[in-house]
Amino acid sequence: MSEVLLLWFGQKRPAADLLEGVRRSVEREFDRAVRVGLSPERPEDAFDARRGQHSSTRILAWLKDRHEGAHRVLGVTDADLFIPILTFVFGEAQLSGRAAVVSTARLGDTPLIPGEAARIALRLQKEAVHELGHTFGLLHCADARCAMARSPSLRHVDAKSPVLCRACRARTRELSENGDVHEQEEHANPDRR
């Protein structure tokens, strides 16, 4: 089965268990082996000086171009991300594509506050599953507790689980068996795992 490359390219080194939590979540939710790496390279053209943020769209292109051998690549960074129409994003992905990126920049105040590091790590796991789910063809889920639910704010991130709901899990299996599908109906799903 094709593996996922989980790649850190932040300015600071990640906490020892931060990427391990993401790795375990991705392996569990998508039944894929995950290889963890630290990139010495940085996407040089992604920083927008006017906004003081990094373009997540440019980072996706960098991830895709630099890691052509990976079936899927999930970039993790501490850079603050944006897309032009939003103030910030927690992450972005190519729908049914190969690349996704998530950021820790807006997931918590500071890891030095007691309990905050664990909360940031859990939020990162949720957003990593969410963005990687898009690369497997999943769209947003109407179930607020599903990892594929929209997350425009930390309140929404905290409301959801780091796991896929039953319908999204079934859809992932279906997409995996039938290849990538580019369209999916957003669904209401009262079922929980």
The residues assigned a catalytic role are 131
CB 85 within 8 Å of CB 59 = no
Q: What is the CA radius of gyration of the chain?
A: 16
Alpha-helix residue ranges (DSSP H) falling in 31-81: 56-66
Degrees to nearest 5, angle at CA 143 with 138 and 145:
100
